[in-house]
Amino acid sequence: MKRSTVNDIIAEADAFIRSFGYILPPFAYWSPETMRQRKSEIAGIVDARLGWDITDYGQGRFDELGLFLFTVRNGDVADLKRGTGMLYAEKIMISRENQLSPMHRHIVKAEDIINRGGGKLVLELFNSAPDGSIDRKSDVVAPCDGLNRTLKAGERLSLTPGESVTLLPGIWHAFWAEAGDVLIGEVSTVNDDLTDNVFAEPIDRFSAIEEDVDPDRLLVSDYPQWLA
């Protein structure tokens, strides 16, 4: 993905997020140079991988296969293992109309996926088989805003604005937006995108960036290189 495309997506995403009255934290608007200048202060941002995150899953087809994310807050995996401390995370995401976030599951993370506004958010859900693969036969119990919904394996769950679903570890899920782009909230246990995503197909979690222009903002995947 070209850096110029990343810059454009960030600008478009910020406008879309603001249109629903959601305001990102101040560090979202720091330039790369400001982050470098404040390097000694921002370990809490860098270590938790807070900030901008845009992925095409390494496939180069962002409009068809991709997701915009911004991690607003995130705890520490070590605290999660101890069972004390900041055990939660929050993201704001955008799924563009008919843009697929591909089938995957988490090993540790439990998450609420919330339609915060826009079109319909559609999810395809499966249980895990004993070996961790996709169970294409058993019914899936999906807690939706306090009420359990039972779905056939692979049955599509549609969430309108204000509705949510809880996805426990091991639940395979893919999602996309219909009838317009969707602003998605995610509230979860500690998020570890480096180790806690298992994809059904051999794809990457992060995008390779072609540096055709300077970055307006750093992505979380830029931190190791740009803030080393």
User: Tell me, what CATH number does 166's domain have?
Assistant: 2.60.120.10
Please tell me the number of Cα atoms within 13 Å of 203 on its side-chain side: 20
Beta partners for 210? 2
Q: Which pTM value belongs to this model? A: 0.96
Domain count, the chain: 1
- State the distance between the two ends of the chain, measured CA to CA, in whole angstroms: 22
Assigned token pair, 115: 């339609």
Evaluated on CA atoms 102, 103, 108, 113, the torsion sign reads positive
Assigned token pair, 66: 């991709």
Residue span of the structural domain in which 99 resides: 3-226
Cα dist from 198 to 82, 111, 132, 204, whole Å = 23, 15, 9, 10
Please report, in tens digits, the pLDDT of each residue of the chain (228 residues total). 999 999 999 999 999 999 999 999 999 999 999 999 999 999 999 999 999 999 999 999 999 999 999 999 999 999 999 999 999 999 999 999 999 999 999 999 999 999 999 999 999 999 999 999 999 999 999 999 999 999 999 999 999 999 999 999 999 999 999 999 999 999 999 999 999 999 999 999 999 999 999 999 999 999 999 998
Torsion, Cα of 4, 72, 119, 197 (10° steps): 80
Q: Which of 136, 129, 89, 128 is nearest to 111 (CA)?
A: 89
DSSP string for residues in 165-214 = EEE-TT-EEEEEEEEEEEEEEEEEE---TTTS-EESSS--SS---B-SS-
3-class secondary-structure state, position 154: coil
Q: 73-77: which pairs have CB atoms within 8 A and are 24 or more residues apart? A: 73/48, 74/48, 74/49, 74/50, 74/190, 74/191, 75/48, 75/189, 75/190, 76/47, 76/48, 76/190, 77/190, 77/192
Residue 228: Cβ-neighbour burial (10 angstroms; 0-12, 13-18, 19+): exposed
